[in-house]
Amino acid sequence: MPISRFIFFSAKRRFAHASNLLPRFGSSKRIQSCGYTKSAKNNYYKKPTGHPVVNVETQASRSSGAYIIPPILLGFGGLLAFLHYNDERRAVKIGKDSYTGSDTAAAPIIGGPFTLVNSENQIVNEQDFLGNWVLLYFGYTSSPDIGPDQVRIMAKAIDTLESKENLKVLPVFVTIDPQRDTPAQLRAYLKEFDPRIVGLGGPVSAVRQMAQEYRVYFKKVEEEGDDYLVESSHSMYLIDPKMKVVRCFGVEYNAEQLSKEILKELKKHQVNA
Protein backbone atom coordinates (compact mmCIF):
# COMPACT_ATOMS: atom_id res chain seq x y z
CA MET A 1 0.00 0.00 0.00
CA PRO A 2 2.73 2.50 0.66
CA ILE A 3 4.10 1.80 -2.82
CA SER A 4 0.85 2.70 -4.51
CA ARG A 5 0.67 5.86 -2.45
CA PHE A 6 4.12 6.86 -3.61
CA ILE A 7 3.33 6.30 -7.24
CA PHE A 8 0.14 8.28 -6.80
CA PHE A 9 2.08 11.10 -5.20
CA SER A 10 4.75 11.18 -7.81
CA ALA A 11 2.14 11.35 -10.51
CA LYS A 12 0.54 14.24 -8.71
CA ARG A 13 3.88 15.95 -8.50
CA ARG A 14 4.53 15.57 -12.18
CA PHE A 15 1.29 17.21 -13.10
CA ALA A 16 2.21 20.07 -10.78
CA HIS A 17 -0.57 19.57 -8.33
CA ALA A 18 -0.06 21.40 -5.11
CA SER A 19 0.49 18.81 -2.47
CA ASN A 20 -1.21 20.96 0.13
CA LEU A 21 -4.48 19.99 -1.54
CA LEU A 22 -4.25 16.90 0.56
CA PRO A 23 -3.26 18.21 3.97
CA ARG A 24 -4.01 15.00 5.78
CA PHE A 25 -0.90 13.40 4.40
CA GLY A 26 1.97 14.30 6.65
CA SER A 27 5.09 16.09 5.59
CA SER A 28 7.08 12.92 6.02
CA LYS A 29 5.23 11.35 3.13
CA ARG A 30 5.89 14.36 0.96
CA ILE A 31 9.59 14.13 1.55
CA GLN A 32 9.52 10.49 0.70
CA SER A 33 7.68 11.02 -2.55
CA CYS A 34 10.04 13.83 -3.51
CA GLY A 35 12.89 11.53 -2.88
CA TYR A 36 11.25 8.92 -5.09
CA THR A 37 11.30 11.09 -8.21
CA LYS A 38 14.78 12.44 -7.53
CA SER A 39 16.22 9.08 -6.94
CA ALA A 40 14.67 7.72 -10.14
CA LYS A 41 16.44 10.41 -12.15
CA ASN A 42 19.68 9.83 -10.29
CA ASN A 43 19.36 6.16 -10.91
CA TYR A 44 19.69 6.74 -14.62
CA TYR A 45 23.16 8.18 -14.28
CA LYS A 46 24.76 6.72 -11.16
CA LYS A 47 24.26 4.45 -8.28
CA PRO A 48 21.55 5.56 -5.85
CA THR A 49 22.96 7.46 -2.89
CA GLY A 50 19.69 9.06 -1.72
CA HIS A 51 17.92 9.12 1.54
CA PRO A 52 18.27 5.95 3.57
CA VAL A 53 14.54 6.22 4.32
CA VAL A 54 13.81 6.16 0.67
CA ASN A 55 16.33 3.41 0.15
CA VAL A 56 14.74 1.14 2.66
CA GLU A 57 11.10 1.82 2.04
CA THR A 58 10.90 2.42 -1.68
CA GLN A 59 13.39 -0.18 -2.77
CA ALA A 60 10.87 -2.21 -4.70
CA SER A 61 9.15 0.68 -6.43
CA ARG A 62 12.40 2.46 -7.27
CA SER A 63 13.95 -0.53 -8.91
CA SER A 64 10.84 -1.15 -10.97
CA GLY A 65 10.70 2.57 -11.75
CA ALA A 66 14.34 2.45 -12.81
CA TYR A 67 13.57 -0.41 -15.09
CA ILE A 68 10.53 1.20 -16.71
CA ILE A 69 11.57 4.80 -17.39
CA PRO A 70 14.84 4.48 -19.34
CA PRO A 71 13.38 2.02 -21.85
CA ILE A 72 10.39 4.31 -22.30
CA LEU A 73 12.67 7.27 -22.97
CA LEU A 74 14.80 5.18 -25.29
CA GLY A 75 11.72 3.94 -27.11
CA PHE A 76 10.40 7.44 -27.53
CA GLY A 77 13.73 8.65 -28.80
CA GLY A 78 13.84 5.74 -31.20
CA LEU A 79 10.39 6.57 -32.49
CA LEU A 80 11.40 10.18 -33.09
CA ALA A 81 14.53 9.06 -34.88
CA PHE A 82 12.54 6.68 -37.06
CA LEU A 83 10.02 9.34 -38.01
CA HIS A 84 12.76 11.78 -38.84
CA TYR A 85 14.55 9.22 -40.99
CA ASN A 86 11.30 8.35 -42.72
CA ASP A 87 10.63 11.98 -43.52
CA GLU A 88 14.10 12.38 -44.95
CA ARG A 89 13.68 9.30 -47.07
CA ARG A 90 10.33 10.40 -48.46
CA ALA A 91 11.52 13.92 -49.15
CA VAL A 92 14.33 12.69 -51.35
CA LYS A 93 11.97 10.43 -53.28
CA ILE A 94 9.53 13.20 -54.15
CA GLY A 95 12.28 15.59 -55.14
CA LYS A 96 13.83 13.08 -57.56
CA ASP A 97 10.80 12.15 -59.66
CA SER A 98 9.55 15.38 -61.11
CA TYR A 99 5.87 15.31 -62.00
CA THR A 100 5.92 15.34 -65.76
CA GLY A 101 2.69 15.43 -67.70
CA SER A 102 0.56 16.64 -64.85
CA ASP A 103 -2.56 16.55 -67.02
CA THR A 104 -2.49 12.76 -66.98
CA ALA A 105 -3.70 13.00 -63.42
CA ALA A 106 -6.78 14.86 -64.59
CA ALA A 107 -8.44 11.76 -66.02
CA PRO A 108 -8.29 8.11 -65.00
CA ILE A 109 -6.08 5.94 -67.14
CA ILE A 110 -8.55 3.87 -69.10
CA GLY A 111 -8.39 2.22 -72.46
CA GLY A 112 -6.27 -0.46 -73.91
CA PRO A 113 -5.81 -2.79 -76.85
CA PHE A 114 -8.80 -4.42 -78.46
CA THR A 115 -9.57 -6.65 -81.43
CA LEU A 116 -13.06 -6.55 -82.90
CA VAL A 117 -14.95 -7.10 -86.12
CA ASN A 118 -16.31 -4.14 -88.03
CA SER A 119 -19.51 -3.96 -90.02
CA GLU A 120 -17.71 -5.10 -93.18
CA ASN A 121 -16.71 -8.31 -91.42
CA GLN A 122 -13.08 -7.23 -91.22
CA ILE A 123 -10.97 -7.68 -88.14
CA VAL A 124 -10.01 -4.37 -86.58
CA ASN A 125 -7.72 -3.57 -83.68
CA GLU A 126 -6.72 -0.38 -81.98
CA GLN A 127 -3.64 0.08 -84.18
CA ASP A 128 -5.93 0.97 -87.03
CA PHE A 129 -7.14 4.03 -85.17
CA LEU A 130 -3.73 5.43 -84.28
CA GLY A 131 -3.24 8.89 -85.70
CA ASN A 132 -6.94 9.78 -85.59
CA TRP A 133 -9.05 11.46 -82.99
CA VAL A 134 -11.78 9.01 -82.10
CA LEU A 135 -15.17 9.54 -80.46
CA LEU A 136 -16.13 6.18 -79.03
CA TYR A 137 -19.61 5.20 -77.94
CA PHE A 138 -20.65 1.89 -76.37
CA GLY A 139 -24.25 1.16 -77.24
CA TYR A 140 -26.57 -1.39 -78.82
CA THR A 141 -29.03 -1.23 -81.66
CA SER A 142 -32.06 -2.37 -79.65
CA SER A 143 -31.96 0.60 -77.33
CA PRO A 144 -35.44 2.18 -77.06
CA ASP A 145 -34.60 5.84 -76.72
CA ILE A 146 -31.23 6.76 -75.25
CA GLY A 147 -29.15 4.83 -77.78
CA PRO A 148 -30.56 6.43 -80.91
CA ASP A 149 -30.44 9.85 -79.30
CA GLN A 150 -26.80 9.51 -78.39
CA VAL A 151 -25.83 8.24 -81.82
CA ARG A 152 -27.71 11.13 -83.37
CA ILE A 153 -25.90 13.61 -81.12
CA MET A 154 -22.58 12.00 -81.99
CA ALA A 155 -23.29 12.19 -85.71
CA LYS A 156 -24.38 15.82 -85.48
CA ALA A 157 -21.32 16.84 -83.46
CA ILE A 158 -18.96 15.11 -85.88
CA ASP A 159 -20.72 16.81 -88.75
CA THR A 160 -20.48 20.23 -87.10
CA LEU A 161 -16.79 19.80 -86.43
CA GLU A 162 -16.03 18.74 -89.94
CA SER A 163 -18.06 21.38 -91.73
CA LYS A 164 -17.34 24.35 -89.45
CA GLU A 165 -13.86 23.69 -88.08
CA ASN A 166 -12.58 21.23 -90.66
CA LEU A 167 -11.56 18.82 -87.93
CA LYS A 168 -11.83 15.13 -88.57
CA VAL A 169 -12.94 13.04 -85.62
CA LEU A 170 -13.75 9.43 -86.29
CA PRO A 171 -16.99 8.24 -84.68
CA VAL A 172 -16.94 4.64 -83.50
CA PHE A 173 -19.91 2.68 -82.20
CA VAL A 174 -19.04 -0.46 -80.24
CA THR A 175 -21.94 -2.73 -79.53
CA ILE A 176 -22.35 -4.07 -76.03
CA ASP A 177 -24.95 -6.53 -77.33
CA PRO A 178 -22.82 -8.57 -79.74
CA GLN A 179 -25.12 -11.56 -79.72
CA ARG A 180 -27.92 -9.69 -81.44
CA ASP A 181 -25.90 -6.99 -83.21
CA THR A 182 -24.30 -8.79 -86.09
CA PRO A 183 -22.12 -6.80 -88.53
CA ALA A 184 -25.03 -6.65 -90.97
CA GLN A 185 -27.29 -5.31 -88.25
CA LEU A 186 -24.74 -2.66 -87.31
CA ARG A 187 -24.36 -1.64 -90.89
CA ALA A 188 -28.09 -1.24 -91.40
CA TYR A 189 -28.52 0.65 -88.13
CA LEU A 190 -25.64 3.07 -88.45
CA LYS A 191 -26.28 3.79 -92.09
CA GLU A 192 -29.40 5.68 -91.07
CA PHE A 193 -27.43 8.09 -88.91
CA ASP A 194 -24.16 8.76 -90.68
CA PRO A 195 -22.09 6.72 -93.11
CA ARG A 196 -18.89 7.73 -91.33
CA ILE A 197 -19.71 5.91 -88.12
CA VAL A 198 -17.63 2.77 -87.74
CA GLY A 199 -19.53 -0.07 -86.14
CA LEU A 200 -17.60 -2.64 -84.14
CA GLY A 201 -18.76 -5.94 -82.76
CA GLY A 202 -17.33 -9.35 -82.29
CA PRO A 203 -17.44 -12.34 -80.00
CA VAL A 204 -18.76 -11.72 -76.51
CA SER A 205 -15.37 -12.26 -74.89
CA ALA A 206 -13.64 -9.65 -77.05
CA VAL A 207 -16.35 -7.08 -76.38
CA ARG A 208 -16.31 -7.81 -72.69
CA GLN A 209 -12.56 -7.35 -72.56
CA MET A 210 -12.71 -4.01 -74.30
CA ALA A 211 -15.56 -2.87 -72.07
CA GLN A 212 -13.50 -3.80 -69.05
CA GLU A 213 -10.53 -1.80 -70.32
CA TYR A 214 -12.71 1.24 -70.87
CA ARG A 215 -14.52 0.71 -67.57
CA VAL A 216 -17.90 0.48 -69.25
CA TYR A 217 -20.71 -1.08 -67.25
CA PHE A 218 -23.25 -3.12 -69.15
CA LYS A 219 -25.82 -5.65 -68.07
CA LYS A 220 -28.74 -7.48 -69.59
CA VAL A 221 -32.03 -6.56 -68.01
CA GLU A 222 -35.69 -7.34 -68.66
CA GLU A 223 -34.78 -10.62 -70.18
CA GLU A 224 -37.56 -12.50 -71.91
CA GLY A 225 -35.83 -15.01 -74.12
CA ASP A 226 -34.39 -13.12 -77.01
CA ASP A 227 -35.91 -9.78 -76.06
CA TYR A 228 -33.92 -7.81 -73.55
CA LEU A 229 -32.55 -4.39 -72.83
CA VAL A 230 -28.95 -3.70 -71.93
CA GLU A 231 -28.35 -1.29 -69.11
CA SER A 232 -25.20 0.69 -69.54
CA SER A 233 -23.49 3.94 -68.76
CA HIS A 234 -24.26 5.78 -71.97
CA SER A 235 -21.11 7.81 -72.25
CA MET A 236 -18.80 8.75 -75.07
CA TYR A 237 -15.05 8.67 -74.87
CA LEU A 238 -12.84 11.11 -76.70
CA ILE A 239 -9.54 9.46 -77.65
CA ASP A 240 -6.47 11.23 -78.97
CA PRO A 241 -4.30 10.03 -81.88
CA LYS A 242 -2.07 8.09 -79.48
CA MET A 243 -5.06 6.01 -78.39
CA LYS A 244 -5.21 7.62 -74.97
CA VAL A 245 -8.59 8.49 -73.48
CA VAL A 246 -8.73 12.23 -73.02
CA ARG A 247 -12.28 12.83 -71.87
CA CYS A 248 -15.58 11.19 -71.13
CA PHE A 249 -18.94 12.74 -72.04
CA GLY A 250 -22.19 11.66 -70.42
CA VAL A 251 -25.75 11.86 -71.70
CA GLU A 252 -26.15 15.42 -70.53
CA TYR A 253 -24.27 16.86 -73.50
CA ASN A 254 -26.24 17.85 -76.57
CA ALA A 255 -24.72 18.18 -80.04
CA GLU A 256 -23.52 21.80 -79.82
CA GLN A 257 -22.02 21.39 -76.37
CA LEU A 258 -20.34 18.20 -77.46
CA SER A 259 -18.77 19.77 -80.53
CA LYS A 260 -17.64 22.76 -78.48
CA GLU A 261 -16.01 20.59 -75.85
CA ILE A 262 -14.30 18.41 -78.44
CA LEU A 263 -12.98 21.52 -80.14
CA LYS A 264 -11.61 22.73 -76.81
CA GLU A 265 -9.82 19.45 -76.21
CA LEU A 266 -8.34 19.44 -79.69
CA LYS A 267 -7.05 22.99 -79.29
CA LYS A 268 -5.55 22.14 -75.93
CA HIS A 269 -3.83 19.15 -77.40
CA GLN A 270 -2.34 21.19 -80.20
CA VAL A 271 -0.94 23.65 -77.68
CA ASN A 272 0.66 20.85 -75.67
CA ALA A 273 2.04 18.90 -78.61
Contact window for another protein (CB under 8 A) among 29-37, 44-52, 58-66, 202-210: 202-210
Contact flags string 82-121 toward another protein, x per CB under 8 A: ---------------------------------x-x---x
Q: Which is nearer to another protein, 35 or 183 (CB)?
A: 183
Contacting residues for 57 by C-beta, under 8 A, at least 6 apart:
2, 32
Round to whole Å and give the CA distance between 220 and 208: 13
Strand ranges across the sheet with 236-239 = 123-125, 115-118, 198-201, 169-175, 133-139, 236-239, 245-249
Position among 139, 171, 199, 202 found at the interface with another protein (CB under 8 A)? 202
| Residues 26-85, interacting with another protein (CB under 8 A) | none
Give the separation between CA 268 and CA 273, rounded to whole angstroms.
9
Least distance in angstroms from the C-beta of 103 to another protein: 35
Identify each DSSP E strand in 89-207 by its residue range.
115-118, 123-125, 133-139, 169-175, 198-201
- Which of 37, 55, 132, 142 is the binder for another protein (CB under 8 A)? 142
What is the binding site for another protein (CB under 8 A)? 115, 117, 121-123, 141-145, 148, 180, 182-185, 188-189, 192, 202-203, 206, 222, 224, 227-229
